[in-house]
């Protein structure tokens, strides 16, 4: 059994300025936001938030993936992340409108 119930990977890849990448969409800031939110909700005993290199879906990004379910999401705002955290991570419900 995994140590965490959910393991979340944020693509924080930085490509050259002329190439699409998640870093251009504030992925690092959003990663830090999610990390703080999970901590504030006291979910850190069952949810791990991590940076990742390129996840290969930059054109659809910014993106994150949640394991073990292998559910892929895109997001644009902190409220999108709140919805993913509140619905998926805290309550086990997939947020279809943000799913890739």
Tokens 């309550």 correspond to what residue? 91
Higher pLDDT: 36 or 53? It is 36
- Determine the pLDDT at residue 32: 98
Give kind and range of the element (H or E) at residue 39: helix 27-40
pTM of the entire structure? Answer: 0.92
Report all structural domains of the chain as residue ranges with CATH numbers, in order of start: 6-98 (3.40.30.10)
pLDDT tens-digit series, residues 42-73? 999 999 999 998 888 888 879 999 999 999 99
**Displacement of CA 63 from its chain's centroid (Å):** 6
- Determine the pLDDT at residue 2: 65
CA 66 – CA 53 distance, rounded (Å): 15
Which pLDDT band holds residue 27 (cuts at 50, 70, 90)? very high
Mean pLDDT, residues 14-27 taken together: 84
């Amino acid at each position: 059994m995994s140590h965490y119930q959910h393991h979340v990977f944020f693509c924080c890849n930085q490509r050259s300025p002329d190439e699409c990448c998640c870093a251009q969409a504030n992925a690092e800031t959003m990663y830090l936001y999610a990390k703080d939110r999970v901590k504030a909700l006291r979910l850190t005993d069952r949810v791990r938030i991590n940076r990742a290199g390129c996840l290969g879906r930059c054109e659809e990004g910014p993106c994150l993936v949640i394991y073990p379910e292998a559910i892929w999401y895109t997001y644009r705002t902190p409220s999108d992340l709140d919805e993913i955290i509140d619905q998926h991570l805290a309550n086990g419900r997939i947020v279809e409108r943000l799913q890739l």
